[in-house]
A and B are shown apart, each in its own frame.
Chain A
Amino acid sequence: QVQLVQSGAELKKPGASVKVSCKASGYIFIDSYLHWVRQAPGQGLEWMGWINPDSGGTNYAQKFQGRVTMTTDTSISTAYMELSRLRSNDTAVYYCVRDVEVLDFWGQGTLVTVSS
């Protein structure tokens, strides 16, 4: 069965960077784009962008341009999302999500807390 297993919770200081991983199994990794979506505490869902694991091509939401980097390591079927210059309002649960023309399967989420 499809699984997206994300790395554990992170606590970061303002100005730092965080890198969240997402290990895929149960399907052919390079066959589907992977998106990243975040959710601040008690808030709604916010799309951040996608990566094509086959080509490495990316498409980032303008809001995150210059601060986010999405990569993959196809040898271990793992995607990464790195967010830099963190600020307190980046505190959120970050999800990786498989795209089969719709966001059909979500990772369990990774809580990133930004606090001094």
Chain B
Amino acid sequence: DIQMTQSPSTLSASVGDRVAITCRASQSITNYLAWYQQKPGKAPNLLIYEASSLDSGVPSRFSGSGSGTEFTLTISSLQPDDFATYYCQQYNSYPWTFGQGTKVEIK
């Protein structure tokens, strides 16, 4: 199975900050990497697919980069609505696997 490792596990930031979350795969997944945002008590919401493609309706302050084994989700200017938990997920091969999550907290 492909292991997905996110860092950091928790990130404390302020509104307006630029933040970055890293996701590493235990082997190459080319660009088959998605990012999801999850708020408490809600289902995850797709942000980015194919490592860098923004899903429809997702604000442009979100961006994704990377390929192979290392990927980054960047929020260019953190907004109050962005405080949530973020997960990466590989869909290069089965079983599909998720990172453990990164909680973005208010500083």
B-binding residues in A (CB < 8 A): 35, 44-47, 59, 61-63, 95, 101-109
A105 (CB) vs chain B CBs: closest residue: B46
**B interface, how many residues as a size bin?**
20 to 34
Instruction: Return A93 CB to nearest CB of chain B, in Å.
Output: 8
| Contact B98–A45 (Cβ < 8 Å) | yes
* A102-B49, A104-B55, A106-B44 as given contacts; A45 in contact with B95, CB under 8 Å: no
List, in ascending order, chain A residues with CB within 8 A of B34's CB: 102-103
> Which chain A positions have C-beta within 8 A of B95?
47, 61-63
Instruction: Collect the chain A residues with CB atoms within 8 Å of residue B91's CB.
Output: 101-103
Give complex CA distance A5, B85 in Å: 23
Q: Cβ of B45 and Cβ of A44 under 8 Å apart?
A: no
A108 near B98 (CB under 8 angstroms)? no
Chain B residues 81 to 107 lying within 8 A of chain A, measured CB to CB, are: 87, 89, 91, 94-101
Select A102's contact among B43, B46, B87, B101, beta carbons within 8 Å: B46
Q: Which residues of B contact A45 (CB under 8 A)?
A: 36, 44, 87, 89, 98, 101
Contact of B98 among A46, A59, A61, A101 (CB under 8 A): A46
B19 → chain A closest CB, angstroms: 20
* Known A106-B43, A108-B43; 16 more pairs at CB < 8 Å: A44-B87, A44-B98, A44-B100, A44-B101, A45-B87, A45-B89, A47-B97, A47-B98, A61-B94, A61-B95, A63-B95, A95-B44, A103-B36, A103-B89, A104-B46, A106-B45
